[in-house]
Each structure stands twice: as structure tokens, then as C-alpha cells.
Amino acid sequence: MLYKVCKGKDIDNNTMKSFTIGPSVDILVGKINYKMFACINSCPHRAALLSKGKLKPSDNRIVCYMHCFEYNIFSGKLERIPNK
């Protein structure tokens, strides 16, 4: 199914916003370097809200706030695990 949650002009460049679809699906919509993305608002590692993280536009990545894992926002690939 397709859901319209916002217009491209509603998201500023290099920012993101979360939206709830139906009773319980939380998605994240954003824009990096003027390219739109959308994904489930949940880190695959520990299900932390990605909307609490930060964007790294120079790398096309989102950084999870909980453990600092970095994912490519366009491919979904895990690209960095911090050494802690």
C-alpha cells in the first residue's frame, strides 16, 4: 500500500521527520543532499528510534543515537560500527 504522509517541500534539506501510519507503523521521511528517503523509524540493531539520531549528509548516513551504528540511508546497509 502507498500512503502520502507529506510533500517533498515539507522536509528541509538534510533533515528528517517521523510519521505514524495507521495505528502503529512509525516511519521516517527525510532529505539528504536534496534526495528524499523513507524507512521504518527503527534501528535494525536494537530497535531504537532513528528519528532521535542524526544525519551525516556527507556520507548519506543516519547515525543511531543509542549505539552510534551508521547506516546508509539509501541502501540500508550497515556501514560503520563504532569501537567502544
**Tens digit of each residue's pLDDT, the chain (84 residues):** 778 899 999 999 999 999 999 888 999 999 999 999 999 999 998 899 999 999 999 999 999 999 999 999 999 999 999 986
With respect to residue 37, please indicate whether it lies within any of the assigned structural domains. yes
Q: What's the domain count of the chain?
A: 1
With respect to residue 31, please indicate whether it lies within any of the assigned structural domains. yes
Provide the residue range defining the domain that includes 45: 11-80
With respect to residue 3, please indicate whether it lies within any of the assigned structural domains. no
With respect to residue 1, please indicate whether it lies within any of the assigned structural domains. no
Residue 74 is part of a domain; what is its CATH number?
A: 2.102.10.10
Q: How far apart are CA 37 and CA 23, in angstroms?
A: 22
With respect to residue 32, please indicate whether it lies within any of the assigned structural domains. yes
Contacts of 28 (CB under 8 A, 6+ apart): 16, 17, 18, 19, 37, 38, 39, 40, 41, 50, 51
With respect to residue 24, please indicate whether it lies within any of the assigned structural domains. yes
